[in-house]
Structure 1
Amino acid sequence: MQDKARIPENGCSVDRVVGADRPRRRCRPGRAAEEAVGGTCASWPSEAPLPCASLSRQRAREGDLPLLTGHDVVVTGASSGIGRQIVIVLAEAGARVMAVARREAALAELARTVRPPAPPLILVAADVVRPDGISALREAMEAEAFQPDLLVNVAGTFGPIALVGDVEPESWVEAVETNLLSVFRMCAEIVPRMRSQGRGIILNATSAASLDIQAGNSAYGTSKAAVNHFTRQLALELESSGVVADVFHPGDVRTEMFEDIRAAAAVAGDAGAGYRDWVALMDETGGDPLDEAAELVLRVAMSPDPPNGRFLWIDGGITAPRATW
């Protein structure tokens, strides 16, 4: 983050792409050089090299680097999957993390996982799609004198796999509300606080599905495409404020949502054919590690000059980065 983070002396290695004037982070072995987009690694479209998050986390455990000590972070969708892993990684890095999710018992289990020297989690059991959920969040921030300078919106659902003419309208609307309205409400609440501080990073989880058109995917794909556009709009409004907003593709990961997709695709007929193929690929490969999304978030948080209005990709994912913005 802009004015608090310290960058480790030995960061990730940086290569120069032939014909480019920007550094390129060296991705995991097996990632081809031609996957650089526009002369720079698509997984991090930044002018400056970034610190190696895994190395920095090890130093933090050894007491050599404070990393995110003194930072307040809000993570939605914190009780499982990607959100849960992001909470753990950021807490290990020293941040004070407010973990927000609907399932109180799962949040309590997460809190038992995060142990000293990591700061204790602040748990907020709330549905941030609803105004009363935002009110609960606001009350928690005021009670804890919480000044968020990183917001990670992960809360989401996949929704129905069905053709538009066959889909149940209520389930379609619920998926779009969960994936889009939660992001809007969280940003509307947090952005003024970040503006008043003159600093902040907003990272909204998106998906490569937001860039594709596939039969049966109208609910999830539409909602994530809307998140992309909303985030770009927000980034434009935040220019020169010290606050930035980006989306990130967390990879193809085996989470509760993956199991929901497996179950829905199995009974979706022709509309689910593409997702049945994807499920088979995930079963064959094991999917991307949850750590990759968390490491990406940590690298952005540690950057002294984070990007604004960009689509960020993990390193070495099953879905290769592509030209976006």
Structure 2
Amino acid sequence: MGSPVSARLIETVAFVTGGGRGLGAGIATALAEAGASVVVAARTLPQVEETVQAITRAGGRAIGVRCDVTVRDSVAAAYAEAKAAFGMPDLLVNNAGVQGPLGPVGLVDTQAWWDTQAVHVLGALHCISTALPDMIERGHGRILNIASQAGTFVAPFASAYAVAKASLIRLTEHLDFEQKAAGVRAFAIQPGTIMTAMAQETLKSPEAHAFAKPLVALLESTTAEESAQGMARLCRFVVALAAGEHDAMAGRYLDIEKDIPDAATGSQPS
């Protein structure tokens, strides 16, 4: 954490899945810097603890919980820990995800394909279903689903990931339409090209080089500076969302590189 903790989100309690590394760790850190109390949730507890320690060393408030989003009881237990520590989360960030198998439809491992849906879609639904009753009772809540551009077009040989993200985008639209009258707003965010650990793993994958050459080329051409700028912009926008600055954009798929106003400058999308 490179900046002092502020009081901008001092009353916000955030629950961030996949928070042990990559986008999730960056988002959790940014929310804590803005003053939120953050619950960092992921399957790998040492990674979670590393994120929490970085936050608390900088003066932020955070706890780590082990959470397998594909298991409803695991989500419920993690959410109970969150409520016991900080009270009801009013911001849920569904970030947990996997690349999934690469290869032709019908020839990739079907269980691995389905497991990809379980992480991205069922996992998000488990978290939504756990958090939503409290949000409705309180009359307030925001749910941010980390989507992908891959969910908006045909991504040859990456159907597991693309179908999962397309489903997550549509789930976001349904959720926001159904619950906005209750004060709960949902957003689907395409974060841009950021060199996360998952991206690095993709670059090392023989299947990626065989079946996803455009993706490999994109990742190889992304500089460290571009990646850092992308992460910073994503984090600024998540903080702005948590502060309620962009509720008018709820219920939409938002491409951070095209559709999202820059939270630092206040510039509007063209």
TM-score by length of 1: 0.73
- Cross-structure match for 1:30: none
Tell whether 2:171 aligns with 1:208: no
Q: Counterpart of 1:200 in structure 2: which amino acid?
A: G
Cα offset, 1:136, TM superposition: 1.6
- Cross-structure match for 2:211: 271
- Cross-structure match for 2:15: 74
Cα offset, 1:275, TM superposition: 2.2
Matched residue pairs, number? Answer: 257
- Cross-structure match for 1:257: 198
Q: 1:246 aligns with which of 187, 209, 225?
A: 187
Tell whether 2:222 aligns with 1:282: yes
- Cross-structure match for 1:136: 77
Q: Is the 8 A contact 2:12 2:37 kept in 1?
A: yes
Q: 1:291 aligns with which of 232, 236, 249?
A: 232
Report which of the two structures shows the higher radius of gyration computed on alpha carbons: 1
Change (3 A) 1:269 1:116: closer
Pairing 1:118-267 to 2, within 5 Å after superposition: 118-144=59-85, 146-264=87-205, 266-267=206-207
Q: Counterpart of 1:156 in structure 2: which amino acid?
A: G
Q: Which runs of 5+ in 2 are unaligned?
A: 261-270
Change (3 A) 1:269 1:257: closer
Q: Counterpart of 1:85 in structure 2: which amino acid?
A: G
Q: Is the 8 A contact 1:206 1:248 kept in 2?
A: yes
Q: Is the 8 A contact 1:94 1:118 kept in 2?
A: no
Change (3 A) 1:158 1:94: same
Cα offset, 1:173, TM superposition: 1.0
Greater per-residue helix proportion: 2
Q: Is the 8 A contact 1:254 1:286 kept in 2?
A: no
Q: 2:29 aligns with which of 79, 88, 93?
A: 88
**Distance in structure 1 (CA, Å) of the matches to 2:40 and 2:59:** 14
**Distance in structure 1 (CA, Å) of the matches to 2:194 and 2:208:** 21
Tell whether 2:253 aligns with 1:311: yes
Alignment deviations for residues 91-147 of structure 1 (CA, whole Å, 9 cap, x no partner): 111111111111111111112211366443121111111123113213313422521
Q: Counterpart of 1:263 in structure 2: which amino acid?
A: K
Q: Counterpart of 1:249 in structure 2: which amino acid?
A: Q
Q: Counterpart of 1:213 in structure 2: which amino acid?
A: V
Percent of matched pairs sharing the same residue: 27
Q: 1:97 aligns with which of 38, 42, 49?
A: 38
- Cross-structure match for 2:267: none
Q: Is the 8 A contact 1:85 1:294 kept in 2?
A: yes
Cα offset, 1:268, TM superposition: 4.8
Cα offset, 1:195, TM superposition: 0.7
Q: Larger relative contact order (C-alpha < 8 A, sep ≥ 6)?
A: 1
Change (3 A) 1:74 1:269: closer
Q: Is the 8 A contact 2:142 2:186 kept in 1?
A: yes
Greater shift in the superposed pair: 80-89 or 281-290: 281-290
Change (3 A) 1:239 1:263: same
Q: Is the 8 A contact 1:81 1:290 kept in 2?
A: no
Q: Counterpart of 2:116 in structure 1: which amino acid?
A: A
TM-score by length of 2: 0.87
